[in-house]
A and B are shown apart, each in its own frame.
Chain A
Amino acid sequence: MHPLEVSVFGPGVGECVLLAPRPDYWIVVDSCRVDGVPVALRYIEDQGHDPAAVVREVICTHWHDDHHDGIADVLRRCVSARFWCSAALRSEEFLTLAGSARRQYDKKHGVDEMAEVLKIIHERRAKGVRAAAVGPQWADESKRLVREPDFSLWSLSPSAATLTRAHNEFAELVPKLKSPKRRLAANEANDTAVVLHLETESHGSVLLGSDLEIQTDPTRGWTAAFSSFRGQGLRRAHTYKVAHHGSKNGHAPEIWDSMVEPTPTVLLTPFRSCRLPGIEDLKRIRQAHEGATYITANPRGAKPRRRSNSVEKTMRMVSSKRRLERTPGGQLRVRVRADGTRSVEMIGTAFEVGTAETA
C-alpha cells in the first residue's frame, strides 16, 4: 500500500503544503515560489508526475499574499483541479477588492493573485466546466471538501460568526474615492483562515493549522475550530503543520490537548517579516508535546550578501536588523506507512528543532 505523503515547503516567507493520500490524488494547499517557480509544480514534476493529471484540489487557506504566491500559475497548470478558498471571500466586497487589482500601480499588491485565479476559473466556466469540478468552492467550519473511499478532507474554519465579521472587514479594505492606493498589508483577518483535517482509512490523520489564531470570542478562532473537530468526531492527528508560524496567538491549548496525538510529528514554516517563530515560540511548542519538531528554514534568516564598502557602511548607519526575507528554503517530507510508522526527511535548509535552537 502506498504511503501517505505530507510535504511542507517554507522559504522564509510563504508556505506550501502538499498532501498525497494516493499517488493519483494530490492536494496543493497554499503556494510559494522559489526562484520564481511555484514549489508545488516543481516538486510534483520532479517526482515524475504530471501536475495536470494528478493534482485534484488546489486550496488557498488564506487570502494574504504569503499564502498564495504563484497559486494562479498552479491552478493554470493543474487543469484537472478544483479550487477552494475560505468562505470569508464569498462576498461582493472581496470580488470588488480583487477587481481593483487591475487599477493598482503595483503588480504585487495583495489580491492580484486571487484576481488571476478568478479569471482562470471564469475562463474554464465559460467553456462549460461545472462549478463542482472547477470551483471556486467555499470552505468553512465542518465542511467535507473531499469524500473518497479511502480518505476525507475536512475544513474546520472559518466559523459562521467569523464570516459576518469578515465581510465587514473586506468592506473596509475596498478602495474608497480619493483614498490612497497602497499595497495591502497582510496583518489582519487571520480568523478567516481555513484549517484542514485529512482523515484517512489506513494512514491516520493530518492537521494543517494555516494561520488561524486564538480569539477571545469562542464562536471564532481555534475554539470554534475545535468545536467543529469534535462535532465531526474526527481522529487526533499524528502530523501537525503548526498554525501561524508558531506564534503565541496560534498556540491554542485545544490543539495539543485534543486535536493532535501526544507524540506527533510537528512541522513549522518561518515567517521572517514578523520574526516567527521566535525562540520562546519554539520552546513553547517543544514543551507542548512529546514528539519531534521540525522547521523548513532558519527563522532568523541569513545575512544578505555584502555590497560595496560605501554602501554597506551607509546601510548600517540608516537601517538595522537587516536579513534576507526569503532563502531557497527547505522541505519537510513525511511519509506515513499503513503500519503507522512515520519517517521525516529534512531536505535543503530544513532541520529538527533541538535544544540548541531554543537556547
Chain B
Amino acid sequence: MDVSPQQTRRPLRRAFQSAELVLVGNFNPAIIRPSWLARNGLIPDEEADAAEITLLRPEYAGFSIGWATIDVRFDRFAVASTDESQWVTLRDLLVGVFALLDQTPVSAMGFNLSAHCQFAEEEALDPLLSKLSALPAVWKSWIDRPILRQQKVKGARPKGGGTEYTIEVQPSVVVERALFFKAHEHYANESEDVGVVLDILQSEWDGFFEHSIGTFEAVAYDWISEAE
C-alpha cells in the first residue's frame, strides 16, 4: 500500500537537544562573571550565587548557571543550553550582554542546533540506512559493503539572512532508533558593529529554529519513505 509519509507520520521525539549561540570577535573574558551578569540585572542574584564555575581566568571564563553554559575566550563568546524552554532566554542573555558591551567588535555570529530525532518503536531505522543514496561504483571497488553514514548539505536558509546554512545528519550513536542532526547558520559582519548582529539575532533566532526542526523532520521522514 502506497501511503504518503504525511499519512503515516508519527511525531519524532527530539532528545538531547542543544542550542548554541557563538560570536567571533575581540572579547574580554575577565569581565564575564556570574556576579557581573547579576549586577547588571541579566540574571537573578540567586542564579549567580548558584553558578558552577569551571574556570575563571583573564583569558577564559567558563561557567554554568543551571539552564545555560557560558564559554568566553579572547576571540570567541558562546552561550549554550540544552533546555528548549530557555532558548529564547539565551538570546535575551546575549542581547543583554552586548547591549552593555556595545563597543565590542564582533566579526561573525553562528547559530547551532543539534538534536537526536528518535522514531517511534514501529519504525525500523537500521534496515533503511542500507538503502540510502546509491553510491558510485568506485566505492565498492575499495570498500566492502560501503554505506553512506553522514550527509552534510550546505546552502542558504530560505527567507533567512545568513551567508551560509548547513545541515548534517548521521545515525545517532547515543540514542537508539534515532538520527543525529546538526544545523548551523553563519552570519558575517564586515562592519564589526555588535549592534548589527544583535538586530540579526533578534530577527532570525526563532526562524532558524523553526526551519531547522522542520528540516530535521522532513529529512527524517524522507529517508523512511525513500526506503519504503
**How far is it, in angstroms, between the C-alpha of A105 and the C-alpha of B91 when the chains are bound?**
12
Question: Among residues 181 to 232 in chain A, which have CB atoms less than 8 Å away from a CB atom of chain B?
Answer: none
A240 CB to closest chain B CB (Å) equals: 43
List, in ascending order, chain B residues with CB within 8 A of A105's CB.
Answer: 95, 202
Chain A interface, DSSP helix/strand/loop, else mixed: loop
Number of A-B contacts (CB under 8 A): 3
Which B residues are within 8 Å of any A CB, using their own CB?
41, 95, 202
* Shortest distance from the beta carbon of A242 to any chain B beta carbon, whole Å: 39
Instruction: Report the bound CA distance from A105 to B199 in whole Å.
Output: 9
Which chain A positions have C-beta within 8 A of B41?
A: 180
CB distance from B203 to the nearest CB of A (A): 9
CB distance from B41 to the nearest CB of A (A): 8
Report A's interface with B, CB cutoff 8 A: 105, 180
Closest CB of chain A to B226's CB: distance in Å? Answer: 30
Instruction: Determine the distance from Cα of A105 to Cα of B41 in the docked complex, in whole angstroms.
Output: 15
Nearest residue in B to A103 (C-beta to C-beta)?
B99
Chain A, Cβ-Cβ closest to B96: A105
State in angstroms the CA–CA spacing of A105 and B95 once bound together: 9
Chain A residue, CB-CB nearest to B92: A105
Give B27 Cβ to nearest chain A Cβ, in Å.
Answer: 22
Give the shortest distance, in Å, between B47 (CB) and chain A (any CB): 18
**Chain A residues, CB < 8 A from B202:** 105
- Identity of the chain A residue whose Cβ is nearest the Cβ of B198 in the assembled complex: A105
The CA of A181 and the CA of B128, in the complex, are separated in Å by 53
In the bound assembly, the distance between CA atoms of A105 and B88 in angstroms comes to: 13
Bound-state CA distance A249–B41 (Å) is: 39
Inter-chain CA distance A45–B202, complex, in Å, is 34
Q: With A and B bound together, what is the CA distance between A180 and B96 in angstroms?
A: 12
A108 → B minimal CB distance (Å): 13
Complex alpha-carbon distance, A180 and B41, angstroms: 10
Specify which chain B residues have a CB less than 8 angstroms from the CB of A180 in the assembled complex.
41
The 3 sampled A-B contact pairs (Cβ below 8 Å) are A105-B95, A105-B202, A180-B41
| A180 CA / B99 CA spacing, docked (Å) | 13
A178 nearest CB neighbor, chain B only? B41
For residue A309, give the distance in angstroms from its CB to the closest CB of chain B.
15
